[in-house]
Amino acid sequence: MVDKKIGMTLTRHIYEGEREHPDATGELTGILNQIALASKIVSREVSKAGLAQILGFTGRENVQGENVRKLDVFANDVFVAAFNHLGHFCIMLSEEVPEPIEIPERYSGGQYAICFDPLDGSSNIDANVSVGSIFGIYHKISPGQGGTKEDLLQPGRALAAAGYVVYGSSTMLVMSAGHGVHGFTLDPSVGEFLESHHNIRIPERGTIYSANEGNYPYWSEAVRGYISYVKQPDSASGRPYSSRYIGSMVADVHRTLLYGGIFMYPADTKNLAKPHGKLRLLYECAPMAYLIEQAGGAASTGTGPVLDVVPTEIHQRVPFFAGSRENVEELESFIARYDDARTGKAVGSSNE
Ligand code: P6P
């Protein structure tokens, strides 16, 4: 029985998880504790962001002569500094850095690789919108000391752990190491993440859809058909759904995880340089898909599970539809039906 005066801390949760699963090593404990530390530092700076303008932090230098870095650059520096001397990693990949980040040789003997987006949605900060950090942790698979792209280009199905931190009205770390999804809320008065959501389960079906409808004209006919469908009045199926879109992936996924429904960033023809949509596989979609599936939901590219996509490029993008299982399956049925119509294959035909 957890002592009510202290509660279940993140550290205790991880240790107890390690004890329950003998195959786990203490390394994952150390990694998750470092992520918690880095998140606390980022949370402190994000909460001060609005003050930057008032306190005269102008241009590249503030009043103390310190360099004022953009918060996403700051967050990247914090996570890299938290990870690069830990001895648990062989290589890192950050949304902020074009190439994989090597670990200093003396610390590069770790058995894990990490992909992270240090501050996703950072363009929203000036409007005080929730932003977040996302991470996915893989077992090292390349031979020898140090890591290579091989350790990063793994399908999400191979993730050892994943999670995000949402910097919102409170700072909350949501993670899974393969045994359910658990949420920990930061108590700033003691600087500790305390378990606030044990074993989060996403509703089987929800009545919220979340998409940037400004891209509607650029979506496929199937996606447009699905969006029109969820807007049609039909009380038996809870339609029309409510529309909620924050424009910050961590916040939109967090709401979807807790309330149900579907979040999507489809492929669109708006920017032909990004034919597979905007969101990146390794440090946005795969970690989020892992969490959603661990919570009983589904995450799809529209034609198959995100977790089954084998990456070919470290910053590659994929179409992303995730949330309640029934909602995602419904979206996939629209895509299958439109594809069948386009290819002339009658639905349910024998020539499968
Ligand atoms: P749009 C933030 O810039 C981000 O990468 C995600 O956090 C978010 O889901 C998406 O882009 C929003 O993109 O095109 O709707 O502004």
Q: How much is the mean pLDDT over the chain? A: 89
Report the distance separating Cα 129 and Cα 170, nearest Å.
Answer: 12
208-343: CATH class: alpha beta
Ligand 1 atom closest to Cα of residue 250: 7
User: For residues 136 and 117, is the Cβ–Cβ distance under 8 A?
Assistant: no
**Which tens digits make up the pLDDT trace of 132-169?**
999 999 999 999 999 999 999 999 999 999 999 999 99
- Supply the residue whose CA is at minimum distance from atom 12 of ligand 1: 247
Assess whether the C-beta atom of 220 lies below 6 angstroms from ligand 1. Answer: no
**Which tens digits make up the pLDDT trace of 61-117?**
544 445 555 888 889 999 999 999 999 999 999 999 999 999 999 999 999 999 999
How much is the pLDDT for 29? 84
Assess whether the C-beta atom of 278 lies below 6 angstroms from ligand 1. Answer: yes
C-alpha torsion sign, points 82, 42, 258, 328: negative
How much is the pLDDT for 192? 93
How much is the pLDDT for 58? 40
Which of 70, 279, 280, 321 most suits a substitution to test ligand 1, by most atoms within 8 Å of the C-beta? 279
**More confident position, 233 or 179:** 233
Which helix (H) or strand (E) segment holds residue 228: the answer is: helix 221-231
Q: If you ran DSSP here, which 8-state letter would residue 133 be given?
A: E
Kindly tell me if the per-residue pLDDT of 47 is higher than 80.
Answer: yes
pLDDT confidence bin for 24, thresholds 50/70/90: low
Q: Which two tokens stand for residue 116?
A: 């992270």
- Supply the residue whose CA is at minimum distance from atom 2 of ligand 1: 121
Rounded mean pLDDT, 166-187: 95
Lowest mean pLDDT: which of 60-74, 120-134, 305-319?
Answer: 60-74
**More confident position, 352 or 125:** 125
- Supply the residue whose CA is at minimum distance from atom 4 of ligand 1: 121
Assess whether the C-beta atom of 121 lies below 6 angstroms from ligand 1. Answer: yes
- Supply the residue whose CA is at minimum distance from atom 13 of ligand 1: 247
How much is the pLDDT for 16? 78
Residue 90: CA count within 13 A, CB half-sphere: 20
* Cα 224 → chain centroid: 25
Kindly tell me if the per-residue pLDDT of 225 is higher than 90.
Answer: yes
* CA 236 to ligand 1 centroid distance, Å: 32
C-alpha torsion sign, points 156, 159, 161, 167: negative
- Supply the residue whose CA is at minimum distance from atom 3 of ligand 1: 121
CATH of domain 10-197: 3.30.540.10
Sequence ranges of the domains in the chain: 10-197, 208-343
Assess whether the C-beta atom of 249 lies below 6 angstroms from ligand 1. Answer: yes
